[in-house]
Amino acid sequence: MYAAPGLVYFCALASVHVSAWMLPGKRTIDATTFDTNQLIDVTGAHAFVEAGPNDFRGPCPGLNALANHNYIPHHGVVSIEQAILAATEVFGMGLDFATGAGVLALYGANLLDVPFFEFSIGGPPGGILGGILGAPTGLSGTHNQFESDSSPTRCDLYECGDNYSVQPDAFQGLLDLIGKNPDPSRNLDILIQHRVARLQHSKANNPYFFYGPIEMLASNLATVIIGGAMTNHSAADPDGFFSVDGLSSLYGVSRGPDGLRYSRNERIPSSWYRRPLNDPYLAITHALPDMLHMWAEYPETVLIGGNTGEVDSFVPIDITNLTGGVYSAASLLEGNNAICFAFQFLQLAFPDIVSNLEDLVAEILKQLAETVEPLECPEFETLGLESLSKYPGYTRSVKRSV
């Protein structure tokens, strides 16, 4: 029953950040200062090197950029500890956010019991033995686990068969919103508008669109992290600002005579200043307040459900049945209930996902319990997963999504 000591250490370290939180909606530190030490080195050992034919690249632009600059191995097979360290160093992610994303990536890639917890950031890796849930897939094969429908910049798997390349129309939609709202104080509003547009697009174009609890969290987090980790910073805009050229570089997108083109060459700009060193983008004090704001303004972004085999056939999940009557669709919009539901769902689902990693599971569940406790959440003990069988996007998943 192996649990990598380093990963447990990172989980424990992340819990220190979590335990220091204030209630969602309040941040312990505002990014009001700027320091030239925030400049990210893209020279020497970290100079850009184009991905080769045998290098793995996948649905996460941040990991792709880190590999292209050798902040993680250039071939694209990375340990979770390498990914966490690089994400915190280069993009200013909080340890809790980076660790949570890393564990979700390992689950999706079927690698939760592989020593050193290595995974491919793209397609199936060679030379890595199978995980507890089957053969390793790499992040490109993690549909409805790490990667999900209604991505900010990627196509739905069952819409165009490619869930890892930047979809030019989706990226152009984001750039158009940035162009209309150049004020950096509107960054979150821009992303929320884009989130709603992508959600509507999936409902209207993907007959197998599925938006379960994990998919809802994954796609919402993938949206708010753009503002949290992929904005440039300056003395004039210490809280971060969007640059069309900078964002295009980070996403590996260039403009030609026929419009936008995705090159797979995600690149950190030469004058890239990460988040302030004293204000990492933490899940509790940053991401969750950002999502609460989104959910309050656009409740459809938290309404879980899916299409039933035809486009525009979205049917909400019966949350009352799923939670044994503890929550309803209406009650999720009250107070902290949406956050409570999300964390409690993970608490119940996670032990089944990684039941043979006792130390790791215990540490992560401890963090989740400490996070939920101050919210005074109503409790539910079982999941009515049979109610999800009506959604073909759920039943078609490589592993049963929860």
Summarised one tens digit per residue, pLDDT across range 147-189 is: 678 999 999 988 988 888 999 999 999 999 999 998 988 999 9
The stretch 200-204 carries a mean pLDDT of 98
Number of domains in the chain: 1
Backbone angles phi, psi at 166, to 5 degrees: -65, 130
The pLDDT-based confidence of 19 (bands split at 50, 70, 90) is very low
240 burial (CB, 10 Å; 0-12 / 13-18 / 19+) is buried
Contacts of 260 (CB under 8 A, 6+ apart): 168, 171, 172, 253, 254
- Angle of the 61-68 helix axis to the 80-91 helix axis, nearest 10: 90
Range with the largest mean pLDDT of 246-260, 314-328, 381-395: 246-260
Phi, psi of 39 (to 5 degrees): -65, 130
Residue at 400 is within a domain = no
The mean per-residue pLDDT over the stretch 212-226 comes to 88
Do 121 and 101 meet the contact criterion of CB atoms below 8 Å apart?
Answer: no
Tell me what the pLDDT averaged over the chain comes to. 79
In a domain, 401, yes or no: no
Q: In the chain, count H helices and then E strands.
A: 14, 7
Of 323, 330, 327, 310, the closest CA to residue 390 belongs to 310
Residue 282 confidence (pLDDT) above 60:
yes
**The one-letter amino acid at 59:** P
Question: 285 pLDDT exceeds 70?
Answer: yes
pTM over 0.85: no
Predicted pLDDT of residue 182: 87
Amino acid identity of 120? S
Q: Of the candidates 15, 201, 31, which has an alpha carbon nearest to the alpha carbon of residue 96? A: 15
Q: How far is CA 32 from CA 65, 72, 235, 239, 367, in A?
A: 27, 30, 9, 6, 29
308 within some domain: yes
Q: Is the pLDDT of residue 218 over 90?
A: no
Distance CA 6, CA 86 (A): 15
For the chain, the first-to-last Cα distance in angstroms comes to: 24
pLDDT at res. 371: 53
Q: Torsion over CA of 338, 206, 104 and 170, rounded to 10 degrees?
A: -90
Please state, in angstroms and rounded to a whole number, the distance separating the CA atoms of residues 117 and 105.
10
Average pLDDT value for residue range 77-90? 88
Strands 210-211, 305-306: pairing kind: antiparallel
- Would residue 320 count as lying in a domain? yes
In a domain, 259, yes or no: yes
pLDDT of residue 352: 47
Q: At what angle do helices 95-108 and 358-372 cross, to 10 degrees?
A: 130
Range of the domain at 40: 5-395
With beta carbons less than 8 A apart as the criterion, state whether 279 and 35 touch. Answer: no
Kind and range of the H or E run holding 211: strand 210-211
Distances in Å between the Cα of 72 and the Cα atoms of 45, 165, 189 are 11, 20, 32
Asked if the model's pLDDT at residue 233 lies above 60, the reply is yes
Is the separation of the CB atoms in 152 and 197 below 8 Å? no
**How much of the chain exceeds pLDDT 90, in percent?**
43
**CATH no. for residue 235?**
1.10.489.10
pLDDT value, residue 266: 97
User: Using alpha carbons only, what angle is made at residue 339 by residues 334 and 342, rounded to the nearest 5 degrees?
Assistant: 125
Say yes or no to pLDDT of 12 above 60: no
DSSP notation for 239-266: T-B--HHHHHHHTTEEEETTEEEE-S--
354-380: pLDDT as tens digits: 444 445 545 555 555 555 555 567 777
- The whole-number average pLDDT for the span 63-74 is 97
Tens digits of per-residue pLDDT, 114-131? Answer: 445 677 888 777 654 455
Which has the closest alpha carbon to 239: 290, 202, 199? 290
List the beta bridge partners of residue 306. Answer: 210, 315
- Tell which wins on pLDDT, 135 or 214: 214
Q: Which residues pair with 149 in a beta bridge?
A: none
